């Protein structure tokens, strides 16, 4: 995927590129990942795209709105949500993936089950986006068996059933960095190319409201890990907590604000429900950056 305007951006392991199964995604400009929940119980849009037909229509709509990547999930991971049996997740996800790979865009699958990983990668999916950071038995081997697939490792404290009943304590930044170090070590031992990896600090996954906003305010510190960052602020409860907006679907404006702030602090990918509004806001952000004295000087030198 080509960078549209040639602007420079963060460089990770020698290149601002995310290697995936079928695509080398240019990260010199931030990328928008559109959320496709094939679930009846997602916290924000549960049931709206639960059938294969409606999910595919939603995929097409998100692409029209400017999504660079599609992220398909068959199990809700909202706090307190029950685990979905393997057969049910496969039945939800595989028919959508089988058709969505024909859209010729990077396709991410939000799953922690190695059996689902293997099945979707065999169908041609590009990225495994794992809230468990490949800690489930067999997950690392599943992605290692597909030598080019992209990987996103997310930090999560505890599990979806208990993470917000007993959220983590203390300074969130060193905890997240230490967690990433621990999960990256076995990938390196398996010979997995670092260009395949992005990292997600897990906004809302076992953290207090203050800790979540510390992740945003101190996000540049997370870049010390040396990998591109993927951030998912869209419609999260912490946004509701500071805005007073109880209805998740009513949090579009503050979600877009959080996405732009995350990008301004170095995020390479933002995972969002509201693609059109996020893409428009990032166009304003890019225009502002193009007119800064530093970028104007760089352009003149070129």
pLDDT on residue 165? 75
| Residue 196 reports pLDDT greater than 80 | yes
Q: DSSP letters of 224-276?
A: GG-S-BEE--TT-HHHHHHH---SGGG-HHHHHHHHHHHHHTT-SEEEES-HH
Q: What distances in angstroms separate CA 219 from CA 197, 215, 272, one per listed residue?
A: 18, 5, 18
Q: What is the mean pLDDT of residues 34-43?
A: 79
pLDDT on residue 10? 47
Which entry of 92, 118, 236, 276 is annotated as an active-site residue? 236
| Phi and psi, residue 199, nearest 5° | -125, 140
271 is catalytic: yes
Task: Supply angle C-alpha 243, 66, 117, rounded to 5.
Answer: 90
Q: Quote the tokens at residue 5.
A: 């305007």
Q: What is the mean pLDDT of residues 92-111?
A: 97
Q: What is the mean pLDDT of residues 72-95?
A: 90
pLDDT on residue 99? 97
Ranges of each domain in the chain: 17-287
Q: Quote the tokens at residue 2.
A: 């080509």
pLDDT on residue 192? 96
Which entry of 196, 207, 265, 271 is annotated as an active-site residue? 271
CA 220 to the chain's CA centroid: 17
| Phi and psi, residue 145, nearest 5° | -75, -15
Question: Tell me: the pLDDT tens digits for 268-277?
Answer: 999 999 999 9
* In the chain, % of residues over pLDDT 70: 87
Q: What is the mean pLDDT of residues 252-269?
A: 97
pLDDT on residue 158? 75
135 is catalytic: no
- Residue 195: HSE in the Cβ half-sphere, 13 Å Cα cutoff: 17
| Residue 15 reports pLDDT greater than 90 | no
Superfamily name with CATH number, domain 17-287: Dihydropteroate synthase-like (3.20.20.20)
CA 151 to the chain's CA centroid: 10
pTM for the whole structure: 0.89
The mean pLDDT of the chain is 90
13-17, 54-58, 117-121, 162-166: least confident range: 13-17
For residue 195, the 8-state DSSP code is G
| Residue 47 reports pLDDT greater than 70 | no
The number of beta carbons lying within 10 Å of the beta carbon of residue 245 is 17
Distance, in Å, from the CA atom of 275 to the CA atom of 68, rounded to the nearest integer, reads 10
């Amino acid at each position: 995927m080509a960078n549209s305007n040639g602007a420079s951006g963060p460089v990770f392991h020698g290149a601002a590129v995310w290697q995936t199964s079928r695509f080398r995604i240019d990260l010199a400009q931030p990328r928008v990942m559109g959320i496709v929940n094939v679930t009846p119980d997602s916290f924000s849009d549960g049931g709206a795209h639960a059938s294969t037909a409606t999910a595919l229509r939603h995929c097409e709509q998100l692409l029209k709105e400017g999504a660079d990547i599609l992220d398909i999930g068959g199990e809700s991971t909202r706090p307190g949500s029950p685990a979905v049996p393997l057969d049910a997740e496969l039945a939800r996800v595989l028919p959508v993936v089988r058709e969505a790979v024909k859209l010729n865009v990077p396709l991410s699958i939000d799953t922690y089950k190695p059996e689902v990983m293997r099945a979707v990668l065999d169908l041609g999916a590009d990225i495994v986006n794992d809230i468990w950071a490949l800690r489930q038995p067999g997950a690392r081997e599943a992605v290692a068996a597909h030598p080019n697939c992209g990987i996103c490792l997310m930090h999560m404290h505890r599990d979806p059933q208990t993470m917000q009943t007993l959220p983590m304590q203390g300074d969130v930044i060193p905890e997240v960095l230490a967690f990433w170090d621990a999960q990256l070590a076995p990938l390196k031992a398996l010979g997995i190319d670092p260009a395949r990896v992005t990292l997600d600090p897990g906004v809302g996954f076992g953290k207090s409201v203050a800790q979540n906003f510390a992740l945003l305010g101190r996000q540049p510190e997370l870049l010390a890990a040396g990998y591109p960052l993927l951030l998912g602020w869209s419609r999260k409860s912490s946004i509701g907590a500071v805005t007073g907006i109880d209805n998740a679907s009513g949090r579009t404006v503050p979600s877009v604000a959080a996405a732009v702030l995350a990008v301004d602090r170095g995020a390479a990918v933002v995972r969002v429900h509201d693609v059109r509004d996020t893409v428009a806001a990032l166009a304003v952000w890019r225009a502002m950056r193009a007119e800064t004295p530093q970028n104007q000087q760089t352009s003149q030198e070129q």
